[in-house]
Amino acid sequence: MHKIIAANWKMYKDRTEAATTAGEIAAALPDVLPKERQVVIFPPVTSIECVAQAFRGHKSLAVGAQNFYPAPEGAFTGEVSVGMLRDVGAEWVLAGHSERRHIFGETDEMVARKAIFSLSHGLKTMLCIGETLDEREQGNLYAVLERQLTAFFAARPEGMTGDALVGRLAIAYEPVWAIGTGKVAGPGEVREAHGVTKALLEKFIGKTGKKLPVLYGGSVKPDNAGALIALDNVDGLLVGGASLEAQSFLQIIGA
């Protein structure tokens, strides 16, 4: 299984800045990329096309979108469709990032609907899950992750089998309390949460669940990336602020 190193640029970088950073990453990648690793950048929607252009010809680099609306087209002011995203070079999308859930009020059902829609329309999907600090302190880690994953697996259409998800669906575990706070889940906490996630995937789709990558996201930086990626049940990293500078992100890629 390839380890995926993903970058979420959130609402940062205009097109010039995005193209410059993407170009620096593409130019340096052959020297830092370990074997069996895939790099995915999620820039703002306005920069998807220029990042895709910078990555052209690099099989280990891909670009994705941070958000979309689950309809082919329509009167949805301010939204963007998966067809529009594919048109500008997106291969991936994020669904269920904690900021979409907790700032914009996306429910488990809406996140599931979006993830199913994007997968059904040809985009690889990174489904984000994770608990708040209160939920963890109350001992509800399993219940929260089970609820979030159940929403997706219970709603998927009959033809979307486990085998059909391999190579197209990745899960990103991101403890909400560790995103942008500087706090990082300790190795034991990460291993526990990833163990729970992988057990739930097997519960829903059997042994095929072992083939779905589970990434860790939450204040990942160059100085902790190596320890995180070395954990035996961590299949990649979803990086926020530390991915905004090419050199910082390249250190994480090569960790």
- Tokens for 209? 């669940």
- Known binding site for substrate: residues? 8-10, 180, 219, 240-241
Question: Please, what is the Cα angle at 121 between 13 and 176, to 5 degrees?
Answer: 50
* C-alpha dist (Å) from residue 133 to 94, 164, 178: 22, 34, 9
- Known binding site: residues? 8-10, 180, 219, 240-241
Question: Where do we find the tokens 């193209």?
Answer: 19
Residue ranges of E strands in the chain? 3-8, 37-42, 61-65, 92-95, 124-129, 169-173, 214-217, 236-239
Count of alpha carbons within 13 Å of 229, Cβ hemisphere only? 24
Distance CA 39, CA 61 (A): 5
Q: What domains, with CATH codes, occur in the chain?
A: 3-253 (3.20.20.70)
pLDDT in the model for residue 104: 97
Structural element, H or E, at residue 100: helix 98-102
Q: Which residues of 221-232 are buried (b: 16+ CB within 10 A; e: fewer)?
A: bbebbeebbeee
Indicate the DSSP class of residue 74: S
Distance CA 255, CA 239 (A): 13
Q: Which residues of 82-99 are buried (b: 16+ CB within 10 A; e: fewer)?
A: bebbbebbbbbbbbbbbb
Give the active site residues. 97, 174
pLDDT in tens, the chain (255 residues): 889 999 999 999 999 999 999 999 999 988 877 778 999 999 999 999 999 999 999 999 999 999 999 999 999 999 999 999 999 999 999 999 999 999 999 999 999 999 999 999 999 999 999 999 889 889 999 999 999 999 999 999 999 999 999 999 999 999 988 877 777 788 999 999 999 999 999 999 999 999 999 999 988 999 999 999 999 999 999 999 999 999 999 999 999
pTM: 0.96
pLDDT in the model for residue 36: 81
Give the contacts of 70 (CB within 8 A, at least 6 positions apart). 113, 114, 116, 117, 118
